[in-house]
Amino acid sequence: MVSSRHEAAHRIFQERPELLTPVFRILDLSPPEKAAVEVLTPDATEIRPLERRVDSVLRVKPFDGGDFLLAIEAQGRCDPDKAVNWGYYVSYLAAKYKQPALLLVVCQDKATAEWATGPFRVGVDDWTALSVHPLVLGPGNVPVILDPDEAAQDLTLATFSALTHGSHQDAAAILKALARAMGTADPESVSYYSELLEIGLGSTTPAGITWRNEMSVGTYFPGRGTLIEETFLKGKAEGMAEGKAEGEAHGRARGVLRVLEKRGIITSPETRDRITNCTDLDTLDRWLDRAVIVSTANELFEEDD
């Protein structure tokens, strides 16, 4: 069964294809200066009883020509069967789309990354019929980002770095720097990257626990049971039960207070009164977005005062 952590490791390339530019540099490849990226179907099935599916498939279309395909696989452990599967994926995609295909393997531990570099040969004895040479991203070549200013310059790379280095000895410092960097980001980006990290790091790992302590997260991945999702759904249910706008406003206000509480931010009686007495849903939504990034409760109101 595909795990949420597995999903996060490759999904970021679909949702934030700009990550390909720094990744190509890490791999000593020449990234196209300008290119469009298209997400293709990951289905590589030809005979129905034997389903094959790549994690992610992107078509990179440089504006000056030379389109190519990038098959992305998130790999959590060494698996001898991958030699045949990966060879099939590359050959199938190249034949189907009539374009060159590359394989990128994303690993979150050093041993798996070293194994994934291959090459993987398919054949008999000393006779090689097919050789697969994956591009590999892992703890050995993805940069460790400990500076909040550096993280803020490229939140996509910083998030991917945090996912990759979840078991690093400096994981807590990496996540702390990223959380501080998100203080300058727009609410939509904060929601996306925050929840991607919660899903990708796991809820019971040391890094996952550290991240949940650093900041609450948004609702980008529905059905995952993350903190703001729980808060939002509870507020929505309360609003529906009361059957009027005041009930929904009350639920959202409780959500703002809950996020602040979970993040350990102290709220004065005056602040709590201002939040609970607010009936404007747009204002409450803004406060909920800010609640995931502010350092003090008063910062909720700075742009409104």
Compute the C-alpha angle 176/179/185, nearest 5°: 155
- The residue range of the domain holding 276 is 227-301
- Based on the domain organization, do 9 and 132 belong to the same domain? yes
Domain boundary residue among 137, 163, 183?
137
36-to-33, 42, 67, 223 alpha-carbon distances in Å: 10, 18, 10, 31
Within this chain, do residues 118 and 192 fall inside the same structural domain, yes or no?
Answer: no
205, part of any domain: no
Closest by alpha carbon to 237, among 254, 213, 225, 258?
A: 254
| DSSP β-bridge partners for residue 104 | 72, 135
Tens digits of residue pLDDT in 90-143: 999 999 999 999 999 999 889 999 999 989 888 888 888 889 999 999 999 999
Instruction: Examine residue 23 and state whether it is found in any structural domain, yes or no.
Output: yes
Structural domain total, the chain? 3
How confident is residue 265, by pLDDT bands cut at 50, 70 and 90?
A: confident
pTM greater than the 0.85 cutoff: no
Q: Coil, strand or helix: which one is 162?
A: helix
Over the stretch 37-71, which tens digit does the pLDDT of each residue have? 888 866 655 544 445 678 889 999 988 888 999 99
Task: Decide: helix, strand or coil at residue 225.
Answer: coil
Looking at the structure, tell me whether residues 70 and 125 fall in a common domain. Answer: yes
24 and 123 belong to one structural domain: yes
Q: How many angstroms separate the Cα of 143 from the Cα of each of 86, 147, 164? A: 26, 12, 9
| Of 182, 197, 212, the domain-final residue | 197
Whole-number Å distance between alpha carbons of 280 and 223: 27
Average of per-residue pLDDT values in the chain: 80
For the segment 196-237, what is each residue's pLDDT rounded down to a tens digit?
Answer: 888 888 877 888 888 877 765 444 444 445 555 555 555 555
What three-state secondary structure class fits 249? Answer: helix
Evaluate whether residue 217 is within a structural domain: no
φ/ψ (deg, to 5) at 34: -140, 130
Give the C-alpha separation, 173 to 179, whole Å.
Answer: 10
59 and 116, same domain (yes or no): yes
Q: Does 2 or 4 have the greater pLDDT score?
A: 4
Instruction: Decide if 219 is inside a domain.
Output: no
According to DSSP, the residues that pair with 73 across neighbouring strands are 105
Q: Are residues 32 and 129 in the same domain?
A: yes
